[in-house]
A and B are shown apart, each in its own frame.
Chain A
Amino acid sequence: MAFERFTRDARASVVAAREEARASGQHTVESAHLLLALAARPEFGLDRGRLADALAHEEEQSLAAVGVAAGDLEPGAGGRARREPRFATSSKLALQRAVAIAAKRGDRRLDAGHVLLGVLAAQHGRVPRALRIAGIDVEDLRARL
C-alpha cells in the first residue's frame, strides 16, 4: 500500500509526529513521536500530556538504571532541532506495520487508527515501556481500534 492510500488524518499524524520531534529538539522522528501526535487527536481517548510525562519518566528510569541522573540540560539559544528531523527505524517500522495491518484487514484506506495500531504493535522499546508507565491497557486500546 502506498502513501497515497493514507487518509488525510493519517498523513496529518505523520506530519504532526515530525513536529513533535522538532519541538523536543530531537534529530530523528521516533515511534514515540507518532504516539504523541496520535494521542493529541481526540478520537482515541488518549491523554497526550500524560503520555509525554510517561515518556519523560521512562527516560529518567532508563538512565537511572545505568547510574546516570539526568538533570536539567536546557537547550541554548540555538535550540536543538534540526530543520527536518529524519524518520528513524522505530517510526518507519510502525508505519510499515500500519500498512500490513490495513492490508490484513482488507481495508482500502489507511487511517490514523491504523497508524496507532502500527505504533502499538511494538513489543519492545520506549513506546510499550511508556504505555506501561502511563497505566494504559494496550490490549483494550487495540480492541477499540
Chain B
Amino acid sequence: MPMIAAPPTLPDDPADALAAVGALRRLADRVEDAAVERAIVDGWSWADIAEALGVTRQAVHKKHARRLQRAAIAREER
C-alpha cells in the first residue's frame, strides 16, 4: 500500500508540485478501485459504499459495477 514517507511539503518547483497533483489523482483512482472491490467482496451495498465515498449511488455504480460484475465479484442487480 502507498504510505506517507515524510510529512507532505510543497515542492519548490511549481512543475514538481503540479506533477504531484496528477500523480496523487491517479493514485487516488487506484486506491478507490481497490477499496470498492474489497467493500463489495465484504458484502457492502452500493448505497453504503456511495455514502462512505460521499458520492451518489449512481456515480459509484456507474464507475465500478461493470468491471466488478465482469469479474463476477458484484452481482448483476443494481
Chain A positions near chain B (C-beta within 8 angstroms): 25-27, 58-59, 61-71, 73-83, 124-126, 129
Contact = CB atoms under 8 A, between A and B. Distances in A.
Contact of A65 (B16, B31, B37, B41): B16
B33 interface: yes
A78 B37 contact: yes
Interface string B19-59: 11011101101110110011001000000000000000000
Size category, B interface: 35 or more
Nearest to B6: A67
A140 to B, nearest CB: 22
B30 A78 contact: no
B68 A78 contact: yes
A69 B5 contact: yes
A4 to B, nearest CB: 31
A78 B33 contact: yes
Contacts of B22: 62, 125-126
Interface of B: 1-11, 15-20, 22-24, 26-27, 29-31, 33-34, 37-38, 41, 63-64, 66-68, 70-71, 73-74
Nearest to A70: B2
B9 A80 contact: no
A78 B20 CA distance: 27
A59 B73 contact: no
A22 to B, nearest CB: 11
Given A67-B5, A67-B8, A69-B2, A80 B33 contact: yes
B37 A62 contact: no
B68 A66 contact: no
Given A71-B2, A71-B3, A126-B22, A65 B27 contact: no
B5 A25 contact: no
A71 B18 contact: no
Given A66-B17, A66-B20, A82-B66, 9 more contacts: A26-B29, A62-B22, A65-B19, A75-B30, A76-B38, A78-B74, A80-B33, A124-B18, A129-B19
A78 B67 CA distance: 6
